[in-house]
Amino acid sequence: MLPGRLVPWAILLALAPACASGDPAIADEAELSEDEEDSELPPPPPGAPGCEAGKHACGEYCIGDRPNEPYVGCALGCGTTCEAPEGGTPACKTDGTCDFTCPSPYAKLDGACVLSACSDAGYACGSITDDGGTQISCGTCFGTVGCGADHQCDIARDAREPNNTTAQATQLGMFDDYDDATTWVDNLSIDDRLDADWFKLQIVDGFDAGNPNATIQLADHATQLGWLDSNHELTVWFKCNTADAGSRVRCGEWYTTADENALSDPTLGVGCTVNAQYVVWADIAASCTGLTDSGTATIRVRKVSPPGGDTYDLYVGVE
């Protein structure tokens, strides 16, 4: 090198680029330390490693485990009361986290307290399992009828189906009070929880020195007392061919009247309803304007409580 252009070794060493130490872990450790200074790691979840025994994480801090009570968020809570859905009561799990219970008759399903778990699920029989694994009975079928895989009673459809609406109502014909006409319609059924049976009949005032009176009954025709296996809802309306002049429609069970003229429909007329088991009945005392007291009776039978299929027979008489 030319005189005057010499560079001291100390200066060369200072200006030289840094050489790798041969151990990349050292460089990586240095970079990691800088990254840790610039970012904050999230705190460990409650009960996770990071807090000593008897403590759990709440945000950035480790606090002592609390009493396993829902008003403090349970053993691993952070002081906030546990929440519960409508109808439920806050509770604690054995692992120290929040839970809730549902008092009877509510059932715990899908994170909620459900009042009527079986009907909400569409179950007429069998059982349903709640969130805690508890079996809730949805009832059994009546008589010798079995419960199907769809949780419906295996009831066969009767020969009058389909008659699920007023437009599809089974026409029972004309009943003249002069003849004291009567009939039994046997082997009927409510075959599932959505089934409703509709019937219509014409009541004729046959000039027998009195207004017609009709009797409708739901019963088991084959037994002495005629009692059904379960409750059925019977609803009956009467509509005069002219205008109503004070017709009376009553519904009841056995010898007791449960309802009278409580229903009024512009198309079907005045009516009543009853949900019963032991000789379910309705009677119609027709009173219409004009020369005769003739009109149309409409009958609806269905299952409300308890739901599910069942069988019955229908009696109609006019005198």
- pLDDT tens-digit series, residues 135-168: 877 777 766 677 888 787 778 889 999 999 999 9
What value does the mean pLDDT take over residues 193-216? 92
pLDDT band at 10 (very low <50, low <70, confident <90, very high): very low
- pLDDT tens-digit series, residues 88-118: 889 998 889 998 888 766 777 767 776 666 7
Specify the pLDDT at position 153.
Answer: 78
Specify the pLDDT at position 309.
Answer: 65
pTM of this prediction?
0.60
Which amino acid would we find at residue 121? A
The domains located in the chain, with CATH, are 55-137 (no CATH), 170-318 (2.60.120)
CA distance to 38, 57, 176, 206, per residue, from 180 (Å): 99, 85, 6, 10
Which residues are registered as beta bridge partners of 302? 196, 233
DSSP SS3 for 70? helix
What Rg, from alpha-carbon coordinates, does the chain have?
A: 39
